[in-house]
Homo-oligomer: A and B are copies of this chain.
């Protein structure tokens, strides 16, 4: 790679890369003890006399010693890096999730290795392999396929699936109570007299979409309202698609309210309603699952379901760390994060 000609040149020039960092050896010399004593004094608890420990710590501080995680990880077969695998950091849902995770990990002196998989199975597997290579003890993932958590678990990595689930997964789970949240939201509209409510939804393969749709249905059943299946408007993942779908929904059917299954789709729906100059909520009500900041900035502010995304992230991290520390019984744990209805100005009585 770099034969000595190159190394020599590097040494001659003002290159700062090969700064020799102090090792336990250096600290040992400085403190007048053995390397193993340094190791114990610095990390393990109870195997060094207070005096020695203080002396070692002082010496370490003095010469600017910083543990080498690579060496520590290699030797002790543990790592404090946690993989976090999400679909799109630019979506505030994932950003909030990651923020919650990071907060909790940092408090426990763990690090977050964040990877975007763009919702692509291939990139997701790629990322999983990278995390295997890093020998992370655990991964938090919003899975795209069941294969990814599976492969990780097969290799002894603890996995927490966040936000969504696949039928046969065996990993720990942290989910929003999608069904309850969507049901509450739908009932709020029904209580306002709406009987023809459009449901804008992108997928129902995952528990996320499936749960929200189930809640939508349940609210209808509970209120003895028949569902016009045509009002369930399946769309794609992006806001533009949602806008087209909303357009079609409005053209082809009479609805007095629309529920968007997530924050991205809501953008498209809102754009279409505004474009048509429909008065919200006088002419049509709009509500969304997954509250994000812009929803309270628009006029009227949107009625939403807040799924406490940051807290969801914290839960993921807490659960994973507990699992890593062996504090949990073997069987998988499911954490349901409550969803909370927030009524704002975008929903009102049904017209006529």
Which A positions have Cβ atoms within 8 angstroms of B? Answer: 1, 13-19, 21, 44, 64, 66-71, 73-74, 77, 79, 81, 88-90, 92, 95-96, 98-99, 102-103, 106, 109, 111-116, 129-130, 132-135, 137, 153-156, 158, 267, 270-271, 274, 293-294, 297-299, 310, 326, 330
Q: Which residues of B contact A113 (CB under 8 A)?
A: 81, 111-114
A selection of 8 A-B contacts at a CB cut-off of 8 Å is A21-B132, A66-B155, A68-B74, A70-B71, A88-B99, A90-B92, A92-B95, A111-B134
Residue of B nearest to A292 (CB): B294
Q: Which residues of B contact A129 (CB under 8 A)?
A: 66
Bound form: Cα–Cα A134–B66 in Å: 9
Pick from B102, B103, B135, B153: contact of A68, CB under 8 Å? B135
Pick from B71, B77, B95, B106: contact of A95, CB under 8 Å? B95
Closest-CB distance, A96 to chain B (whole angstroms): 6
Bound form: Cα–Cα A102–B117 in Å: 10
CB <8 Å contact, B95 and A89: yes
Bound form: Cα–Cα A44–B3 in Å: 14
Bound form: Cα–Cα A73–B114 in Å: 19
Closest-CB distance, A5 to chain B (whole angstroms): 14
Most-contacted residue by chain B among A134, A153, A326 (CB, 10 A)? A134
Bound form: Cα–Cα A266–B220 in Å: 40
Bound form: Cα–Cα A102–B85 in Å: 12
Bound form: Cα–Cα A274–B96 in Å: 27
**Ranked 7 nearest A-B pairs via Cβ:** A19-B156, A294-B294, A89-B99, A70-B73, A95-B95, A70-B74, A114-B114
CB <8 Å contact, B106 and A297: no
Bound form: Cα–Cα A104–B338 in Å: 36
